[in-house]
Amino acid sequence: MSDDTTPTRRECLKYGGAVVGGGLLAGCTGGEADTEAQRTSAGGTATASEAEPTPTTPKTTTDTAYDVTIEPAGTVTFPSVPDIWVAENASWADMGVALGLGKPSAVVLTGEYRTWHYEDVPGLSASKDGMTSLWQDGIAKELLYDIDADVHFIDPNYLVNLIPNWERADVKEIAENVGPVCGNTSFSTYPWHEGYPYYDLYEATEKVAQVFHRTDRYRALKTLHDETISGIRDRLPPEGDRPEVALLSPGSPEPEKFYPYRIGETTAYKHWRDLGVSDALADTDIQSFTSDRGTIDFEALLEIDPEVLLFYTDRHRTPAAFRETYLSHLQGHDTGQTLTAVQNGEVHPAGGMYQGPILNLSKTERAAKQLYPGEFDADEQLYDRQRVADIVAGNI
């Protein structure tokens, strides 16, 4: 958005005498439990910035300016099509990749971006080289100034409610001095999200397409998705023959406790809903970890005794490595080995919680084969990789 003769927003601030303070925010990550949940429970005492930058000139618009409405930010004006962009998580990152934008300059945590899904699509790379993790013991405003993105697909309420010491004024500052902050945290439910809609996967993708003027690719992706999911659902066994599953995050590679997740209406659970599974936790008083930060032990799990266990883990493992890590441990555990799912070998990776168009197709294919091996062959391709590649490349 800038050329050799026009200073960037960062340069305007720097040479205008503004002082940008780093003030890395305190927090915690790591472990086997879902890192998003751990990050959002972080605490700290540092301030969001040590000194407030002062903008040197107001933003202006041109004849090419256009508006896109993205709740909760509302109507956002873009003076031109963005160049540099930042995503809150892998969901928004994958939306951009699917629309042919390449990967974003930064996400909150690169470790949560499971790019191995791209290995099946011709022309796409799984590499995250050069991508920045915004979370570095918190999210510092100085880092956002350094990246100098034209748009941040980050829910402003996410920053205010889940990132230590961020205030509304900090969000406004970044939006005005760097680029709009206009994402929507649609992967999980939060009490502060009650006043505006949760976008489903393709509603959110359409917003990104509108920002980047790529609605033709959005429509092609949506058509491919609808045809793929319809074809898969046509082959599912009758509803009564579909399994009850428990979504859990193990507390460690040799767990004694688990963080439970209820299958909800947000984007994190889209592929499970599309595959018609039942939630083994539905008729219990166990709440999702994102709601009450609770855990369950083996005894509680045995009372439910799900047909299938699906584990959110800290990183991607091959099927063999997953079974060696988790199933082997459960088979040797005094209580774990008595679980029906363990006895039947029905313990599978659930992948990450985030998904855009490409990740969703890949995750749905893998989950269908895990849950319904009698219906879907292990080597069968359930979505058209080449068609995805063509859409990404703009060959509509």
Residues 31-71 pLDDT 10s: 344 344 333 433 333 333 332 333 323 333 445 999 999 99
Q: Write down the domain spans for the chain.
A: 9-225, 238-393
Q: How many CB atoms lie within 10 A of CB 47?
A: 17
Whole-number pLDDT of residue 294:
81
Where b means 16+ CB within 10 Å and e means fewer, 125-161 reads eeeeeebbbbbeebbbbbbbbebbbbbbbbbbbbbee
Residue pair 294/37 in contact by the 8 Å Cβ criterion: no
Whole-number pLDDT of residue 314:
79
**CA distances (Å), origin 64, targets 59, 61, 81, 85, 216:** 14, 8, 9, 19, 19
Whole-number pLDDT of residue 12:
37
Q: Which residues contact 372 (CB under 8 A, 6 or more apart)?
A: 235, 236, 237, 275
Query: Residue 87's closest CA among 149, 146, 153, 148?
Result: 153
Return the bridge partners of 348, or none.
310
Query: Residue 367's closest CA among 387, 382, 357?
Result: 382
Q: For domain 238-393, which architecture applies?
A: 3-Layer(aba) Sandwich (3.40)
Q: For the chain, list residues with pLDDT below 50.
A: 1-62
**CA distances (Å), origin 334, targets 62, 237, 250:** 69, 34, 17
Whole-number pLDDT of residue 291:
58
Query: Residue 42's closest CA among 348, 293, 243, 326?
Result: 293
Residue pair 361/389 in contact by the 8 Å Cβ criterion: no
Class of domain 9-225: alpha beta
Whole-number pLDDT of residue 381:
98
**CA distances (Å), origin 286, targets 258, 295, 309:** 12, 9, 16
Q: In CATH terms, are 9-225 and 238-393 the same topology?
A: yes
Would you mind telling me the total number of residues written for the chain in this entry?
396
Q: The pTM is what?
A: 0.84
- Alpha-carbon distance 342 to 327, whole Å? 7
Q: Tell the residue number behind the tokens 């609808």, with chain if given.
A: 226
Whole-number pLDDT of residue 292:
61
Query: Residue 119's closest CA among 91, 86, 88, 97?
Result: 97
**CA distances (Å), origin 80, targets 15, 76, 154, 243, 247:** 24, 12, 19, 49, 43
- Alpha-carbon distance 163 to 78, whole Å? 26
